[in-house]
Structures are given as structure tokens and as C-alpha cells.
Copies of this chain bind each other. A is one copy, B any other.
């Protein structure tokens, strides 16, 4: 297909596609004339993944390029692929600075209790540590034990998430679905909790 058709199919503007070509995020098409090239389905899928990484996950163009390069390298390894698009381990292979690790002994205890194997690069670790510290600084009696029932429900949520990635065999498509479903569903999951809170409050206090 021509670049105009590629633009229509992927929902990405022609000027943006040319920019991605120059920056090396998108491999060149097959040249058919001095100023024309032919693009294929793999370009459509790759553009969709780029859009997901930049537009939805909020990566910079160069960070997206690192992830795309790594996705090509680990295309047959689903676990590695998902870790890359979720940012669980760095695409560049650069190790996190040792000093950057907060004391996450509470997270360690929670993970051990749940039997979860999780990379030490997973940025979600720090979020848990900070939340517990903030709640305690505001006078709440809260530690990792309080999160165990929530973690059990998160485990069921993650099972639903990964079930939806079982379909596509194409690694680019799988990576795109993983980004869209994980990042775009976040506000909806919090909104479902708010709706459920109101519904539960009605049942408890209005019956």
C-alpha cells in the first residue's frame, strides 16, 4: 500500500509517519520509484504499537524506539515481550542505580505472602512503599498486611488481563493489546471501584 493508505489504515498522519521513518521507529517500505514506496501489514501493526507506546503509555520517541528494537529481538518470548512494554525491565539493559532502591522490605513481605515472583526493576514496588508511608504519616494504622486482600483481587484482575492477550500470535499485535488494555483500563478500573462503593453504600446504609 502507499503511504496515504498506510495513514488511513493506522490512523497516524502522513507527516507523522515520515517522521517515524526518519527516526528509525518504522522500517522503510519497499521502494517502487524514486519518491514512492510500498508498505505492508507489518507497517500497520508497528504503527499501532508506536501510537500505543507514545500516545497511551506516554513514552518519548527515543524510549519507544528502544522498546520497539527490544520487541523485535524478543519477539518469540512472550514473558520478555510483556516485561518490556510494561517497563518491568529496562529496554536498554541499563541497570537501575543501586542507590535508587527505596527500602521495600514491606513489598518483599507482601510478594512472599502472595507467592509472586517479580523483578526488582518493577516500578510498581515503589508505589506500594510510598502509599504505605503516606497513609501512616497521616495517622492511619496501615501496613502490608492490610493490602493482602486487595492483592488477592489484583491477582484475579491480572488473570483477566492476560487471558485477553492469549489471542494474537503476532508479537507486535500482542504488545499493542498489552499496552492498550493495561494503561487505558486503569481509569476505568478505578471508576468501577467508585461506582461499586456507591452501590455498596446504598445496600448497607439505605436498606
Is there an interface contact between A124 and B192, defined as CB atoms closer than 8 Å?
A: yes
**Could you say which residues of chain B place their CB within 8 Å of the CB of A75?**
none
Question: Within the oligomer, what is the number of copies of this chain?
Answer: 2
Taking CB atoms and an 8 Å cut-off, the chain A residues in 166-207 that contact chain B are 177, 180-182, 184-202, 204-206
**Could you say which residues of chain B place their CB within 8 Å of the CB of A149?**
160
Is there an interface contact between B191 and A186, defined as CB atoms closer than 8 Å?
A: no
Is there an interface contact between A86 and B160, defined as CB atoms closer than 8 Å?
A: no
Residue in B closest to A156 when the chains form the complex, CB atoms: B153
Q: How far is the CA of A35 from the CA of B154 in the complex (A)?
A: 54
Residue in B closest to A203 when the chains form the complex, CB atoms: B117
Encode A77-115 as 1/0 by CB contact (under 8 A) with B.
111001100101000000000000000000000010011
